[in-house]
Amino acid sequence: MQSALQKWKERLKYLYLLPLSNESLKYFPPDFTIRDPIVSMIKQYRRKGQPIGMILFYMEEFHHLFATHPYPYIQNLQKLVREKLLEILPRYFKSSNLLGIKQFASDDFCMFIKEYPGFSFDDLQRKALLMRQELEQSLRIPMRPNEDTIYSFQTGCHIIGMDIENTEAAIRSSYHYALAIATKKLPSHFSKSRQELLDIIELEKITVLAQPIMSLNSGEIFGWEILTRGPLNSVFHTPTELFDFAYQADLLSKMEFIVMKKAFEEISKRGIREQVFINVTPVTLCHPLFLNQLLMVLSAYDNISASQIILEITERHSIRDFAYMGALMANYRSHGFRFAVDDAGAGYSSLQSISELIPDIIKIDKSVIQNIDQLVVKQYLLRALLLFAENINCQVIAEGIESQGEADILYEMHVHMGQGFYFARPEPIVAYQERMLQCRSITEKIQQNRQICSVIA
């Protein structure tokens, strides 16, 4: 416990330091209640729109030391780490390139670096590794007699960009990512990949494709599912990598909004008149600004109506509060949007989503449809799902149809609609006349196969 005299000394020291400039307090400033000099400098620098590098040094096993050593020892260790970092720092960064260095919690030491010639995430990471090695080597001098403790550190690097407007929030977010990297909860390349994803979002470097959803009764096109691809020859080209990483990087809603925007552009430009299915996660549906953004973009296109858009709720992220989600969906429906639930039959969560939310359309997962002509048990499952859908007044779409045998079973079981490679693969959206020409052969195939099935029956 600090004595009353020590506490007053600390307070007087803070009062003495308070009038000093931000620049003179950038090396481990005290925790003022009135201002944070490092945050002030970062805020000022961010107004120029330039990136800031963060290097975090995380002291491993610190909490074990805290539990097994007296508090004065811990204080001396923290002081020594700060001194060694300040000793090492000039060998890697000029003082003019440093915005500040401060301690977070008890075991995290963060540097904030301005943009400099050769500034990049890879260069920050390289320097962080070299500094860590020097720091560990310099701390091998025993602090107490007969002590042989080896202090080890991990590093995490992050680039503070402009995607978060508030500076304090941007710093906390970057600290969160850097700490997760240092503690191996995120891969070391996470920050670099996140920046790549931010560039994709900012420049809207995605492509939307469309796959037809066919009426299995008439053979006509019922609608189109919009599918997304990232930049070619990029790790984010496939939708799984694109959206999974967007969620991990807290960019999912931004990414899904860009998909909606691009989809509306293509729908309007290509004159699509049928229903359009667009995937959206519960995370994005629950975003407080998403509906307003959706309506704003939609208002720019006179030839698209909300009633034409079916929001397909994906099971990529589970729904925690069905009552809230139901109320939210009612709000979307009041503007004309409709809903489909994806992956029915693939697991318990999708069945719960259907029973709790009562969508307009149920999409049967491809795992149920695959080889359904050869597996009677899958036919029993599909029949149960069809009965369930009929009782709650839902239409049904079978996904992942890849063979005529699978399609024939669906005709026999009176499934409403179908989608899959057997009919057409996802393709870029083309003009109306070309689109109709492409789908004519699919329509004829369905009509002929239905006639054959009817004769056999």
Q: What value does the mean pLDDT of the chain take? A: 86
List the helix and strand counts (H, then E) for the chain: 17, 13
Q: What's the CA gap between 392 and 354, in Å, rounded? A: 10
On the CB side of 378, how many CA atoms lie within 13 Å of its CA?
18
Is the pLDDT at 26 greater than 90? The verdict is no
Domains of the chain: 4-188 (3.30.70.270), 200-456 (3.20.20.450)
CB atoms within 10 A of CB 86: 12
pLDDT range class, residue 11, cuts 50, 70, 90: very low
- Average pLDDT of span 315-344: 87
The pTM (predicted TM-score) of the whole model is 0.84
Token pair of 140, please? 């091998």
On the CB side of 92, how many CA atoms lie within 13 Å of its CA?
25
With 0-12 / 13-18 / 19 or more C-beta atoms within 10 angstroms meaning exposed / middle / buried, residue 142 is exposed
Q: For residue 16, what pLDDT is reported?
A: 45
CB atoms within 10 A of CB 24: 10
Bridge partner residues of 309 (DSSP): 276
- Please name the amino acid found at residue 151: Y
pLDDT range class, residue 70, cuts 50, 70, 90: confident
Q: What's the CA gap between 392 and 415, in Å, rounded? A: 15
Is the pLDDT at 267 greater than 50? The verdict is yes
Q: What's the CA gap between 360 and 222, in Å, rounded? A: 14
Q: Determine the 3-state secondary structure of 278 from DSSP.
A: strand
Distances (CA, A) of 204 to 85, 161, 208, 257: 41, 17, 11, 10
Residue 425 makes CB contacts below 8 A (sequence gap 6+) with: 211
Distances (CA, A) of 155 to 6, 75, 77, 178, 184: 34, 21, 18, 8, 10
Q: For residue 15, what pLDDT is reported?
A: 45
Distances (CA, A) of 250 to 67, 111, 243: 34, 23, 10
pLDDT digits (tens, 9 = 90+) for 335-388: 999 999 887 756 555 677 888 888 999 999 899 999 999 999 999 999 998 998
